[in-house]
Amino acid sequence: MASKNSVKTYAENTIYHVYNRGVEKRIIFEDEQDYKVFLGYLKEYLSPPPKPDIPQIRIVNVQDHVFASIKRTPNNYFGKVELLVYGLMPNHFHLIIRQCADKNALKELTHSLLLRYSMYFNKKYNRVGKLFQDRYKAVIVMDEVYLLHLSRYIHINPYEYTKDLVNAYSSYGEYLKIRNTSWINTDLILSYFENNKNSPEFKNTNTYKDFVENYLDENSDILESLKLE
């Protein structure tokens, strides 16, 4: 069943907030490996594709017989979509994605990502059935102020579980320049602070870090509109 917040059409050069949680609010990231597998899939989808003249080999073991075969190349959306922000929580995730070209790219990426991760999760934990609650939600982000607050909300989301926001499973470390991850584009959001482009309501905020962490216990009315249904 589609959410009231799910878009029915997708457009180029548009930013979307994509999110979903586990069915019946169940845990979808049980351990560190689960987080890393989900991020690993994102990296494959968003990094430049491997050169076609270099075949990817995989080793297959069937009834104690070992075979070498050409590894299937996963779908790739490099240049079609950009990941601006991500945040993974035990039972849900948030992504801010800009669709650059090919109006179907975001829909195809998200469908492939969630299907692939669900198959991995069900196999690992010997379960059947859907992993995520209904269809994912995708909300168009049209307002710059909302975009900045949304990124802040996603980056402080793990604060409920850990005070170490930098090492939580989010893109906050990339925004603080502690990590350099090529498939995460921080330039757009950081430009509002680095080039003094931000709204007058942020005039006393000098850095993105100040913007995020000075709001940890403030402006709950703004945060309220960003919470999952």
pLDDT digits (tens, 9 = 90+) for 108-131: 999 999 999 999 999 999 999 999
User: pLDDT digits over 146-203, tens only?
Assistant: 899 999 999 999 988 888 999 999 999 999 999 999 999 999 999 988 766 656 666 6
User: pLDDT digits over 79-94, tens only?
Assistant: 999 999 999 999 999 9
Structure tokens at 76: 């790739």
Cα–Cα distance for residue pair 39/45, rounded to 1 Å: 10
pTM of this structure: 0.84
Answer yes or no: is pLDDT of 226 > 90.
Answer: no
Structure tokens at 181: 């991850």
**How many C-beta atoms lie closer than 10 Å to residue 82's C-beta?**
19
pLDDT of residue 156: 93
Task: Using DSSP, state whether 46 is helix, strand or coil.
Answer: helix
Confidence category of residue 10, pLDDT binned at 50, 70, 90: confident
pLDDT of residue 97: 97
Q: Please, what is the end-to-end C-alpha distance for the chain in angstroms?
A: 14
Domains in the chain (CATH in brackets) are: 14-224 (3.30.70.1290)
pLDDT of residue 71: 57
Cβ atoms 154, 141 nearer than 8 A: no
DSSP state of 194: H
Cα–Cα distance for residue pair 136/222, rounded to 1 Å: 23
Residue written as token pair 């802040």: 152
Name the nearest CA neighbour of 19 among 84, 86, 101, 73.
Answer: 86
pLDDT of residue 50: 78
Residues in the chain: 229
pLDDT of residue 51: 74
